Amino acid sequence: MDIRSARILVIGGAGLIGSHVVEALLREDVREVIVYDNFCRGTHENLEAALKDPRCRIYEIGGDILQTDILDSAMKGADGVVHLAALWLLQCHEYPRAAFDVNIRGTFNVLEACVANRIKRLVYSSSASVYGDALTDTMTEDHPYNNWTFYGATKIAGEHMFKAYHRRYGLKGVGLRYMNVYGARQDYRGTYIAVMMKILDNLDKGLPPVVYGDGNQAYDFIYVSDVGRANVCALKSDIPFGFYNIGRGVRTSIKELTEIILKITGSRLPIQYESAGLTFVTNRVGDPKAAQRDLGFTWTIDLEEGMRRLIEWRKNNMVAVETRRNLTQR
């Protein structure tokens, strides 16, 4: 899709990924970027830089995907939609009915509104959670659904509803299966990335970093600004439909991640290993080649550089970090 002079609606645009999608879009020659968000998890602070651009605004009437009349009104005149709104993994685990209402019914509402408003292209935020624990070393997009979580189930449902809408109504677009997204503006609610913030909290207090289990749990970490750019690539692509891994394809264990943090901070504290707690997935790395081939997306920020950026953001935004930390303790 040619996004020059386009009006793009970003649903969930005040969150970690959403705010970076908004900024990536504003680096393009778009006409307008409208943020649709209920601020359940997203924050106005995340949009502080973006809102300085006169082409960007928050939809004034509301931002909840369960309010179908308001959602429909927000889409009027839009050319493309990026849908990121969802309850996160642990919230879905604790509140499965809410997970159904927001992630499944809400996504159906988005699909329905896209068709009603003749949206040219939709980018749907899926997740690597659809795969569950990897059955192969590096997962391609045809890896089986090995999910056992409510969150993953909602993302599988969203993918298949999108697939059905594409077949029946011709709705074009792609779904992006994010690996482990981290970076500036992240909070403590990400199941696998919260460990970064908790390690940094411990180091601030002179305490050793805590790793649960043996530290061999391995994931595919990708920096959030790369993910924002991936959404723009997906919007601009001419691929009529499909699902794509968004990651680096690089395996990093929690032990290795902790060692990188210790290196960057200059800490000599030893890693403290404790018994594993609630763990949903212990091994998941995505093959990024299809996204590179079809969407023109290639990651640019390696893990060490990304961690330096996260640590720098955290150092300069300790008030926001404290607020995010306190929210997890309520």
Six-digit token pair at 265? 């901070």
**Do 186 and 198 form a contact (C-beta atoms < 8 A)?**
no
Can you tell me the distance from the alpha carbon of 234 to that of 236, in angstroms, rounded to the nearest whole number?
5
CA distance 198 to 141: 32
* Known active-site residue 223: no
Is the torsion defined by CA of 87, 187, 19, 246 positive or negative? Answer: negative
> Is the Cβ–Cβ distance between 192 and 152 less than 8 Å?
no
Q: Evaluate whether 19 touches 42 at the Cβ level (below 8 Å).
A: yes
DSSP string, 100-129: IIIIIIHHHHHHHHHHHTT-SEEEEE--GG
Give the active site residue among 36, 124, 151, 188.
151
Closest of 269, 253, 252, 248 to residue 200, by C-alpha: 269
**Which residues are identified as catalytic?**
151
